[in-house]
Amino acid sequence: IYEAMVRMAQWWSYRYMLVDGHGNFGSMDGDSAAAQRYTEARMSKIALEMLRDINKNTVDFVDNYDANEREPLVLPARFPNLLVNGATGIAVGMATNIPPHNLGETIDAVKLVMDNPEVTTKDLMEVLPGPDFPTGALVMGKSGIHKAY
């Protein structure tokens, strides 16, 4: 859990950091984070948006693993976290690598799809032209982005 929290506090790992970390959370040059006893963390403002309406019956709750507590089936996120922060992971027989995107452009794209579920990739790329990496990047040509979308 600590390694995941560290990544969520690193500005170069997440486009929009979900953890406000205090202490040594490593460096972009590869320096490791300090031991967890030397760090403190709290949820960032944008992460709190994923929980804002949790008590307003916006999502279903289910029993936890031992039925002692109830937990949300999903979070009532007020922003598209998967699209703006991306995801990287592997599992048995599958893998994913979703790049991060600009929040404003992503919201415009989500609204466009909601208004017109049959929107073309070309039209979608007018508002969401490509990934937005936290450390910056230079995209050479858009055909690869179009193919990925």
Inside any domain, residue 27: no
pLDDT band at 149 (very low <50, low <70, confident <90, very high): confident
Q: Is residue 110 part of a domain?
A: yes
Task: Look up the domain containing 121 and give its range.
Answer: 82-148
The answer to the question of residue 69 being in a domain is no
Over residues 59-100, the pLDDT tens digits come to 999 999 999 999 999 988 888 999 999 998 898 889 999 999
Q: Which two tokens stand for residue 36?
A: 């967890």
Give the separation between CA 18 and CA 21, rounded to whole angstroms: 9
User: Looking at residues 52-56, what average pLDDT do you find?
Assistant: 91
The pLDDT tens digits for 95-122 are 999 999 999 999 999 999 999 999 999 9
What pLDDT was estimated at residue 141? 84
Asked if residue 66 is part of any domain, the answer here is no
Establish if 89 belongs to a structural domain.
yes
How many Å apart are CA 110 and CA 121, to the nearest integer?
13
In angstroms, the Cα distances linking 80 to 16, 47, 83, 100 are: 11, 11, 6, 11
pLDDT at 124 over 90: yes
Counted domains in the chain: 1
pLDDT of residue 123: 95
Q: Catalogue the active-site residues.
A: 38
pLDDT at 65: 96
Question: Is 16 part of a structural domain of the chain?
Answer: no
